[in-house]
Amino acid sequence: MRNSVPRVAAIHDLSGFGRASLTVVIPILSSMGIQVCPLPTAVLSSHSAYKDLHAIDLTDELQPMIDHWKRLNLDFDAIYSGYLGSAGQVDTVKQFIHDFSGNQPLVVVDPVLGDNGALYSAYTPAMVDKMKELVTLADVITPNLTEAAFLLGEVHQPEIELSEIKQWARRLAEMGPNKVIITSVPDQMKNNNTSVVAFNQTDNRFWRVSCDYIPAHYPGTGDAFASVMVGSLLQGDSLPIALDRAVQFIALGVRATFGHNGRATEGILLEKVLPSLNAPVQMSSYQLLD
């Protein structure tokens, strides 16, 4: 029996300052009527775009917290993982998915590894191998273009053609996940624009939603995108509608933030756009790809 309010185990780090990870995941999913049970992998004074941050690794604390959840006989409608700080944490998440599989939760893995063609500084190729193991257990994965390349052992291609992206998505689905969502894909039809391309293995269909280009980069938008996807799928939305909602939310957040003089490192002005999550999709822009 499902929970009366959908319940998500959110396995991410917690940054005290800067809108990213759990400080993004919790308000988005809560606004969508979903209970968030955070399992923090680390506590940081700020997210990693800021220098000289203080961080506490919680690898050794994860299992005692999980054991308590077991004693409480908790079950989850979704298990959603993001940034993981070590290979040991990947193994813990793999076991978590196994131990809490009785309710057949939706398993969503945001395989955080890098961006702009490079691994994040804290990661090594060994971490890529561990992430490959984790995505085999997922129902849905949300890599950006860089992460998709690392998972497949390919070279990052900033000018990649749509036909090759579709091949990448199929190959990623063959690793285990039923739905593959690749973000930060260049839109060859519109200069500077990016798009999100998704593949649903169940019905063998590809979808795309394009995003207007704005010359700014805000940390945490990947966390926000994946969180809206999780919430939408739990609410029963189809894959293309969930894509639309996630892309529209990020676009709205970026536009709400871009006109202000705040530091981009603080992330999008999430608080200004959270109410939009309760509004219906005003205009669907998704495309079914051949």
pLDDT digits (tens, 9 = 90+) for 253-287: 999 999 898 889 999 999 999 999 998 776 678 99
Q: Is 2 within a domain? A: no
Question: What pLDDT, on the 0 to 100 scale, is given for residue 283?
Answer: 64
Q: Is 32 within a domain? A: yes
Give the mean model confidence (pLDDT) for residues 90-110: 97
Range among 69-73, 112-116, 217-221 rated most confident: 69-73
Give percent of the chain with pLDDT exceeding 70: 97
Q: How far apart are CA 202 and CA 190, in angstroms?
A: 30
Cβ neighbours for 199, distance < 8 A, ≥ 6 positions apart: 166, 169, 170, 172, 173, 179, 180, 205, 206, 207
Q: Is 1 within a domain? A: no
* CA-to-CA dists, residue 247 to 15, 16, 60, 212, angstroms: 24, 26, 36, 10
Question: What pLDDT, on the 0 to 100 scale, is given for residue 151?
Answer: 98
Q: Is 154 within a domain? A: yes
Q: Is 84 within a domain? A: yes
Q: Are 199 and 170 in contact (CB under 8 A)?
A: yes
Q: Is the pLDDT of residue 1 over 60?
A: no
Cβ neighbours for 266, distance < 8 A, ≥ 6 positions apart: 17, 18, 19
Q: How far apart are CA 250 and CA 217, in angstroms?
A: 12
Predicted confidence (pLDDT) per residue in 150-170, tens digit:
999 999 888 899 999 999 999
Residue type, 276: S
Question: What pLDDT, on the 0 to 100 scale, is given for residue 259?
Answer: 86
Higher-confidence residue of 190 and 135: namely 135
Higher-confidence residue of 212 and 267: namely 267
CATH of the domain at 271: 3.40.1190.20
Give percent of the chain with pLDDT exceeding 90: 82
Q: How far apart are CA 12 and CA 117, in angstroms?
A: 23
Q: What is the edge-to-edge ordering of all strands in the sheet holding 35-38?
A: 35-38, 7-11, 78-81, 106-109, 140-141, 179-186, 194-200, 205-211, 287-289
Q: How many domains does the chain have?
A: 1
Question: Which of 3-12, 47-56, 276-285 comes out lowest in average pLDDT?
Answer: 276-285
What is the overall mean pLDDT for the chain? 93
| Exposed/middle/buried for residue 219 (C-beta within 10 Å: 0-12, 13-18, 19+) | buried
Question: What pLDDT, on the 0 to 100 scale, is given for residue 279?
Answer: 84
Q: Is 278 within a domain? A: yes
Give the mean model confidence (pLDDT) for residues 94-106: 96
User: Structural domain of residue 157, as residue ranges?
Assistant: 7-289
Give the mean model confidence (pLDDT) for residues 39-56: 94
Question: What pLDDT, on the 0 to 100 scale, is given for residue 189?
Answer: 66
Question: Quick one: CA torsion of 206, 163, 112, 65, rounded to 10 degrees?
Answer: 30
Q: Is 128 within a domain? A: yes
Strand partners, 181: 198
Question: What pLDDT, on the 0 to 100 scale, is given for residue 158?
Answer: 83
Question: What pLDDT, on the 0 to 100 scale, is given for residue 190?
Answer: 64
Q: Is the pLDDT of residue 49 over 80?
A: yes
Q: Is 29 within a domain? A: yes
Phi, psi of 245, deg, nearest 5: -60, -40
Q: How far apart are CA 62 and CA 89, in angstroms?
A: 8
Would you call 24 helix, strand, or coil by DSSP?
A: helix
Q: Where does the pLDDT of residue 3 fall: very low under 50, low under 70, confident under 90, or very high at 90 and above?
A: confident
Higher-confidence residue of 158 and 205: namely 205
